[in-house]
Structure 1
Amino acid sequence: MKKQWIQWIQYAFGYTRTEAKGFIVLLILLVTYLSIHVYVWLSPSKPSMAFTQNQLNQNPALVSLIETNENPSNRFKSFEKKDEEAHSRVSIRLRPFDPNIASVEELEELGVPNWLAKRIDRFKSKGGKFFKKEDLLKIYDFPEPLYQKLIPFITISALQNDKFSKRSFIHQEEKQKTLTKFDLNSVDTSRLIQLKGVGSKLAARIVKYRDILGNFVSTTQIREVYGLDSLVVEEILKYGYINNPQVRKININESSFEQMRHPYLKPYIAKAIVNFRNQHGKFQSIQDLKAIKLLTPEIIQKLEPYLSF
């Protein structure tokens, strides 16, 4: 029976025989640990907490501790109270504001969550601008109810300061008009930074991801680049295209574990592929990879253009 379990684990996870045995031992220890805790939790006997009235009168903290143990919900109430106190530190004051110049602190005073206020600030730091009220909804995960509440107070100024001056706006419009379509697999950073909302760091990140990926096979892969806001993605897809992609392939039958470096090949997946190949021989086609349980149909579909047999 033990031998059958070991063989099943080897097949399911791509483990070696030694790794499968270690997995079984770890599983037994985990079950034992959980069983002990479940037994203690279900045990009717509880530690005695008997104190004299005089002791209780002299120690209010002791009374609080006993009440907390007798009524566990008190512990959660204390956390809720702290959470409420943390939120109450920022008093919400609805007043007219320009999202193009409002700071993180000013946005928080308007009821905008800290994470969303920082996301708006990052968007502006990359050159993004709001030209009309609805542009706020293009910020990823901006809540519709919050937008409806802020509508009466949103004022888009006439781009008076240096950063949003009329000259800067006209220059941006002229630059947009001169932009032409480009292949995402050959475009360089100097071309990418001409796009609205794309700075030098973001352009370098796009090119770097393309290089470690081995070229794009679909424009939708641009969404996988870390730190791209929805507005930036929309801008890139407006001009970018893929034309006869020449991708760098990984030979699935010859590559070692160390050579299988790819964003879609996590280390545990690469190890499972190598172990399965060592046990069952070379892969004949992409269909053979379906025998590895760790490889979902989605991962196989994404990997297919980057593999050779």
Structure 2
Amino acid sequence: MARFFTEREIRAVAVFLPLAGLLVAAVALFRPKSDPLEARRVEVAMERRMPADSIRLRPFDPNTADFDELLRLGLSKHEAVSLLKYRAAGKVFRIPEDLSLCYGISDSLYRRLAPWVRIGRRYAIAPREYRSGRVLPQLLAPSPFRIDTVSACYLRAIGALSKRQAEAFIRWRDLSGIYDMEELRDCYVVSDSVAAALEPYVIFPERRPHPVDAPVELNSADSAELRRVVGIGEKTVMRILRYRDRLGGFVSVAQLAEVPGVTESNYEKILKQICLDSCKIRKIDINFASPKELGRHPYMAPRTLRRLLKARQLKGGWSTAQELIDDHILTREEAARLAPYIEFGSAGGTADEKTTTRRDDAPEDAYPAEFQLETE
């Protein structure tokens, strides 16, 4: 029968096995016994933090902070060593939030350190311009401030605008000036929500009126002339012009209150700078005007318009405002508001011969005194 091992190999195995057994026995006998109390003491020492009165939170760079600096920030030895090992493994903190990814940093510790993290220029994600620090970690509570002197830093500190927005806002303000909320909202970097949040705190400077020789005539002024009136902003100018066109002209300055954007405080300023010429009012011929022209007038309600057109088709027309009341087309209040804006064309003749009659040519009882509106 063939032999698998030579005598020499058998002798070698016979010598090796006893020696290996002796080595295993020696290791088992001389291995130090574990001490649970000592292990716990070491663990407590690693978790021990600096005394509370020695902790001093201040800006630090997690990419360069050493062991002692981390301890002074309130980290335990275990947490500090974990962060250093994290860096030694080739990890880099590019943004402050990267600190939360370090396996030794708990969420509560990260929230406490986050406001003080400053990423150095070497590692920070800043492709064009290096910023020495982050935006203030805690927003300031807003307080009343003058819009003409506020700085970009303060607007950033209260969380109203970002750095670029604040700088753009300051350039806009210095170029054109801001004197009311409407002009504040006109700035392209200020959203409606930001403007609403700032409104309780903004103090506007007094606009210095341009010297004028005479008040602005409200019914003939163009947008440039109206813009000169203190209290009328750019958007309000367009609203006044659109409303004036629909109305046919103002017969009283009180009608300005019907224009969106004219507040009570602005109204008091405007009164001192305008005048009215009611002769420039554009009138509507109640007997011959088209439904579209009649319905465009802000004082002509849809229901009133339907009654008027139906009655006009049957009757042919009217000669006085009192007839409209008697026919239950208009109430006395509606007639009082519409009286300055309507005229009564002749009901006779052909369509080519129909001409409108000016208010001066109308009978004396065409507009009873009770329907006249006071003009200023």
**Category of TM-score, reference length = shorter chain:** 0.3 to 0.5
Find the structure with the greater CA-based Rg.
2
More helix by share: 1
The two structures have a TM-score, normalised by structure 1, of 0.45
The two structures have a TM-score, normalised by structure 2, of 0.37
